[in-house]
Amino acid sequence: MAPKKKRGQGAGRRGGAAGEGAEPPLSERAQYLQREHKLLSEELDACKQRVDQVLQENDFLDSEAPRLREENRLYASYVSSRAQRSANAIVRLEEQNRVNLSQIHWERAELASIYRGREDGVRAQLLEMEARAARMAQQVQELQPYKLNPPPSDFICFSACVTVTLFSFSGHLRSVNAHLNS
């Protein structure tokens, strides 16, 4: 509330008892009411300013609300599509892993078949070499009574080569068997 206006010059006088230009002293009650009026007016002005500030903030928040709603909607859409892409990627990876695993099983079976065939061939060669070595040892034994000179160095070299070859074939067969069994 605005303070009351003072009355004109002559209106404040009581019967002309006081001199011109001098106002009569206010009573204690009137002074108290004036101070109270001043405090309440200041408080009212502060409240009006606060109301204006709150209204401005409210207008700002009202203008921001649609933008925030749209941002939230876009973010939720992004998160949803990202989750869907991740789920699809997991499914695709699982399918790819199954295909790869079946391919590996098929290749392993093929390799096992190939190695079995090679193993059979090597075993046949080994048996043939062992038989040849046994025949040669038999022939050497049969020729021992007719021995006049020491055996030729070619024969000793051949005998050593046969022994080394037989030993390496048996080692190779063991490694092939170990590989196939694993």
Residue 21 counted as domain residue = no
Angle at Cα 121 formed by Cα 161 and Cα 115, nearest 5°?
115
How many separate domains does the chain show?
A: 1
**By the 8 A CB rule, do 122 and 169 touch?**
yes
Contact 29, 72 (CB under 8 A): no
Domain-located, residue 65? yes
Higher-confidence residue of 81 and 181: namely 81
**∠ CA 90-95-96, rounded to 5°:** 95
Residue 80 lies in a domain: yes
Whether 6 maps to a domain, the answer reads no
> How far is the C-alpha of 120 from the C-alpha of 88, rounded, in Å?
48
CB of 2 within 8 A of CB of 41? yes
What residues make up the domain containing 153?
Answer: 28-181
- Say if 2 falls within a structural domain: no
Residues contacting residue 3 through CB under 8 Å, at least 6 positions apart: 37, 38, 41
Residue 18 lies in a domain: no
The token duo for 110 is 């093929």
In a domain, 40, yes or no: yes
What is the tens place of the pLDDT at every residue in 92-140? Answer: 999 999 999 999 999 999 999 999 999 999 999 999 999 999 999 999 8
Give me the pLDDT at residue 158, please.
Answer: 64
Q: Which two tokens stand for residue 25?
A: 């002293």
Read off the pTM. 0.38
Please list the alpha-helical segments (H only) found in the chain. Answer: 28-143, 153-181
**Residue 85 falls within a domain, yes or no?**
yes
The pLDDT tens digits for 61-93 are 999 999 999 999 999 999 999 999 999 999 999
